[in-house]
Chains A and B, each alone.
Chain A
């Protein structure tokens, strides 16, 4: 119960972080303009290839993951940079709930970016999607965002050991999603040894589920993929909690909590 309370306070701190970056106006005008133009940059590549299937593949992939994964990894380092990290580590509730809370605010931005982008793309390409399919896509975008979030907590916790690497780590998360999770090319394009890695990353299964929904596949197949995405997400949550606890414990033992 206490952890939830701390998480909520972390989320409130995160909301302040968010407000220091974006206002409603700059998010809608500036951020969404950037996200949409980036998505259309890749959509144009589909047009260049003159293949309707490729165009559809790229459009769905980049629209459903628009903005997903950004900022959260960097947010994991902010407590270290501000000097509040040691206080969180020695607090009775530990560092995990407040850190995860502070990072979690970005998930709302991802969901909003991807949902808005998806519907703008849907209107511009005049896709006919039933209400049920639309609702399924939105739920799957939420699932993808949450499972990606659990990955970013793990990456963010590692990046926070050397905060100067935070933007690089954040970039690698978004690049990996675009390249290896079935956003731009199917997973089986990559060499055999890489494919299991792709399947252990978030987004891969969730995005397949979205593609199945749009292809009007049977609900069972969609649910199976959604289940796999949930499973991968929970796996990353476990990894994240282990990393956060281990790092905090190690820091307490050798007195390096506040040292880079």
Chain B
């Protein structure tokens, strides 16, 4: 049977599936005004952060605003676009068809969430442009390889985590409520704007469990002159959190689909 997690398909077929899925998701994304405008809007929050920093004479901290712009956008793509994929497939009545095909739904879903998270990188470019064009602040990248690694690992972690949230949100009755509630705490605990050392002490132990914490630290460090410490360990933890999210997401998805199939409610919302 085509269990959503069964991976018994040839590598070439898998690659074809990934490419076709990514192309379809890119088309769906571009056709959905709500989604692509979100990707362009979120980085504008850098405007507020940069205004505060420049007004306080701390343009040297502009990298913090750029980090926030990037993670606000990737986070938003994960929470609001990626996490809606399963619920959207269900309400558009295509989930039954996707489950009925031999292609594993897990592969289809993670390809789509990863692509959406990747598109969130626009937040970095737009944040950089806002700093340069509106405030005349140019942000130097002192460790480009660390930045590149951090960006790719962040895209992976965000896309992979979105598999879990997509599975959970499709089960919940009120997806919007959940979406609106969860992003704030994650941003705060992840220290996406300000390092978590400024959080109350009792909250700080929770931060390492949020992937934003690791990506924010690495991205911010890539703008500093000082050498970046423990790059390998930090990137590994970031990737491991992504793997954990995807694995948990795959398990929830498998159970959910199995449950819906048994009850014959796959196409009912």
Contact A45 B33 (CB under 8 A): no
Flag the segment in A35-43, A141-149, A224-232, A244-252 that touches B: A35-43
24-75 of chain B: CB within 8 A of chain A:
33-34, 37-38, 41, 44-45, 47-49, 51-53, 55-56, 58, 61, 64
- Interface size (B, Cβ < 8 Å)? 36
Contact B51 A175 (CB under 8 A): no
- Residue B181 is within 8 A (CB to CB) of chain A in the complex: yes
| The one of A29, A49, A186 that contacts B58, using a Cβ cutoff of 8 Å | A49
**Chain A nearest Cβ from B213, distance in angstroms:** 14
Contact B49 A45 (CB under 8 A): yes
- Residue B269 is within 8 A (CB to CB) of chain A in the complex: no
**Chain B nearest Cβ from A27, distance in angstroms:** 9
| The one of B34, B61, B178, B198 that contacts A164, using a Cβ cutoff of 8 Å | B34
A85 to B211 alpha-carbon distance, docked (Å): 44
| The one of B47, B55, B180, B188 that contacts A30, using a Cβ cutoff of 8 Å | B180
Flag the segment in A115-123, A131-139, A165-173, A214-222 that touches B: A165-173
| The one of B34, B44, B56, B176 that contacts A54, using a Cβ cutoff of 8 Å | B56
**Chain A nearest Cβ from B57, distance in angstroms:** 9
A189 to B185 alpha-carbon distance, docked (Å): 30
Contact B51 A45 (CB under 8 A): no
Q: Mark A166-184, 1 if CB is under 8 A from B, else 0.
A: 0110011001001100001
Chain A, residue nearest B188 (CB): A37
Contact A26 B41 (CB under 8 A): no
- Given A185-B52, A189-B51, answer yes or no on A44-B193 (Cβ-Cβ < 8 Å): yes
A58 to B48 alpha-carbon distance, docked (Å): 11
35-69 of chain A: CB within 8 A of chain B:
35-38, 40-42, 44-45, 47-49, 51, 54, 58
A26 to B187 alpha-carbon distance, docked (Å): 19
The contact size tier of chain A is 35 or more
- Residue A108 is within 8 A (CB to CB) of chain B in the complex: no
**Chain A nearest Cβ from B204, distance in angstroms:** 12
- Residue A34 is within 8 A (CB to CB) of chain B in the complex: yes
Return chain A residues, CB-CB under 8 Å to B263: none
Return chain A residues, CB-CB under 8 Å to B55: 185-186, 189
Return chain B residues, CB-CB under 8 Å to A179: 47-48, 51
| A-to-B contact residues, CB < 8 Å | 21-22, 26, 29-31, 33-38, 40-42, 44-45, 47-49, 51, 54, 58, 164-165, 167-168, 171-172, 175, 178-179, 184-186, 189
